[in-house]
Amino acid sequence: MMKSDSIEQFYKDTAQLIPEPVQKEVGHFNIFKTDELYRSAAKSRAMPYNRRAYYKISLIIGRNRAEYADKVIDIAHNALLFATPLIPYNYVPQDDNQSGFFCIFSEDFLTQDNSGVRLRELPVFRPGGNPIFFLTDGQIEDIQYIFRKMFREIESDYAYKYDLLRNYVIELIHFGQKLQPATSLFTEPNAYKRVSSLFIELLERQFPVEPPHQKLSLRSAKDYADQLSIHVNYLNKVLKEITGKTTTELITERIIKESKILLKHTDWNVSEIAYSLGFEEASHFNNLFKKHTTLSPRAFRT
């Protein structure tokens, strides 16, 4: 059975970068000190994110550069960053004087009470919103105090410590939502390349899928444009310029590639595969597959 990226994969990828043991048994929540991780990752100035399957809140102290879609934000010194697994981004330290904290958590960690809260609908995590806020010295102290409480609590033996940790995460979210956007956004000459790269990352992040309960969350060109906070016509223009193909053509090619993998390496039936790849009717999947391979899914499998 193929397995999608997870928080466990985050620890596997970064284990060698963490100088001291962390609470890996937590699974859905953890907290780190940026300076410790950064010193251990000195050989690679870019922080290790790759494909993320978790939400993240970072207190950034140091000069950095954040990039997403066709936008760039230069962080002169202090900022609070909110990252979501739904929107690819990258931030690169611009000097060696890096400190601060960050915590990672999954959506189910914060919604265990079945309150109906959806993180992606909160302003700081919503597609098209502003994920980075500049901070004053006073705000830095307030946020550091919250993160230090998280560190003390995660190391404690208090039976209800995760309830407290959830409250601290919510406190950070509300802190960010109360801040007014104060970023300097601009479009770079290489914006086309960045948009194209982020689209491919977002496309790849949809795979692998695990039928029958899971299906692609992004299926159309508009779905991807919305996640990247750009107009669908602009996305098509960018991808046509960079790749020579339309958004729909690239999505279809990736779906066909994934369907071949599933047909060859799993025992899932064609209907399960079709549903997982975003087709409500198996016949629509059959027609598309045959159009691009000249074979039906069953014929390809045998």
Give me the domains of the chain, ranges plus CATH numbers. 7-186 (2.60.120.280), 191-301 (1.10.10.60)
**Which residue, 145, 166, 143, 121, is CA-closest to 29?**
166
For residue 227, the model assigns a pLDDT of 84
d(CA 188, CA 201): 19
Least confident window among 112-116, 218-222, 270-274? 112-116
For residue 294, the model assigns a pLDDT of 94
Do 198 and 88 touch, CB atoms closer than 8 A? yes
Do 90 and 67 touch, CB atoms closer than 8 A? yes
pTM here? 0.60
Phi, psi angles (nearest 5°) of residue 266: -130, 170
β-pairing verdict for 132-134 and 90-93: unpaired
Tens of pLDDT, residue by residue over 194-235, are 888 889 888 888 887 765 567 788 899 999 998 888 899 999
Burial class (CB in 10 A: 0-12, 13-18, 19+), 1: exposed
Tens of pLDDT, residue by residue over 132-175, are 889 988 899 999 999 999 999 999 999 999 999 999 999 999 99
Tens of pLDDT, residue by residue over 15-45, are 554 444 444 434 478 999 988 776 665 544 4
Q: Which stretches of the chain are DSSP H helices? A: 7-14, 34-40, 107-110, 137-154, 161-178, 191-204, 221-227, 232-243, 247-265, 270-276, 282-293, 297-301
Do 31 and 149 touch, CB atoms closer than 8 A? no
